[in-house]
Structure 1
Amino acid sequence: MLVLLLKVATVFGFFASPVLTHGIVTGIVANGVYTQGWSLDFYYDIVNGESYATTPGWYEDALDSGFIPPSEYQDPNIICHKDGRNANISATVAAGSTVEFQWTNPWAHNIGPMLTYVANCNGDCKTSSASCRREKYDTDECKQIDKSTLEFVKIDESGINFTTQEWAAGVMIANNASWTSTVPESLAPGHYVFRHETIACHGASTLGGAQNYPFCLNIDVTGSGTENPTGTLGVDLYKETDPGIYFNPYVTLTNYTIPGPALWTG
């Protein structure tokens, strides 16, 4: 009964609050196969010691489905969202094919870029037990990846169409709240963390006003690629004064610097 009440309170709290436009990556389609992402229901399952669904979506504590502010760009929360911890399974995708990321729908933050990164785990990305509970996350049974050591390589980015002034986030919304990224064909096979993100910039004219929504998923890459590009630590991806983070989005833009390191195309 307590579990049910917690979940009901979460649902009603979500729809009664002003954060209606916030959300998460609810699922992915890789190699034509749909896999559910993280769900807030799983958080309460874990807290209450219940089993929860296997998912490649990383655990996170953002109960309001909220964002990471620029003031936390050098905090581990920016890596895979608030208290992000690795998932209990991995999805699979072939290098050269696509991953479709499905966001909470509807999504209303239509000003901002879309970005996708990958980080090689140099070993298995998932927990050592699919039955891990939150209170056991630091045990050998639930061995965690040290996310602070993951080096992220940007494989996809999109900012603004200067002709139409439409942002990538607006394209995502128009595409049924989904975004598709292509995995470079030359990327070496292995176990990867995919970090997919939108940065809502409707408040970017104020320092610290941007809103980052990063989400991580375990995805194994197959294929015959040989490239292992050098990446960037999550806490070094952005600074709050970056020109693509702190700017006036309410003028006609003729240039825009997409945040983060340079795009790697393979």
Structure 2
Amino acid sequence: NGLTLGCINDTIVAKMGNNLIHINTDIVNSLREDHVYVLSPKDGSLHPVEVRLSNVYMRLHFPRDVDAPTLMINGIHMHRVSGIGPLSDARHKVIAARVRHGHTVLDICTGLGYTAITSLEFGAKQVYTIEVSREVLAIAEFNPWSAKLADNRVKIMLGDASRLIEFFPDSTFDRIIHDPPRFSIAGELYSNDFYRELYRVLRPGGVLFHYTGEPLRSRGHGHGPIVRGVIQRLRGVGFLRIRYDKRAQGVVAVKPRY
């Protein structure tokens, strides 16, 4: 129903539908500007969008001068936020994958869903998106910039991508956007076996974009060993026309038509 804000003396009044919620300005003044908060309609309390587990802390983080919040896990940003915003980052990935009208897209590692949503904006007719963390998807539900994940053209799959991919028939997807965590966290998503599955489910002539960032890159000495390894293994399973896209910071590869 939307949210309308007003101010009476030292109290902010929020109107949600037919309900009026009173929020003391002292509470608002204590909020951190880089956090995203959810408003409780019961008592007007504000709570940061976060998840605390025994060994993991996740929250929405909204740095100054970027276009949308990023997901932060144990202090690490899940999007590029230096000189670029998460939405622009997603756009570069979708452009690198050459998503076009009518395409069926596989988006691996949903996160906040920006890549899946941007794929729809570029004309994809359907996006299958895989996320291993239930908590990440819960955070996305409270992120206004993730709202279009509810579009019925998006199919969200919860589970390990290295296993779920086995259930797709051969040549299912026109485009694949693979945005895994760093190699040290999810090495199975960089393996030969997984790359063979990516090759199998991609249609002939289809494009894979594999985000890598620029880990261990030596100034003036080309890509680091992780990016070089990705390129070598993709070539080994049959991909051709492999190149590094500097703007999107990842590897682009094509499945041959023959």
* TM-based fold match above 0.5: no
Which has the larger share of strand?
2
Give the TM-score, by structure 1 length.
0.25
Give the TM-score, by structure 2 length.
0.26
The answer to which structure, 1 or 2, has the higher relative contact order (CA under 8 A, 6+ apart) is 1
Q: Computing the radius of gyration over CA atoms, which structure comes out larger, 1 or 2? A: 2
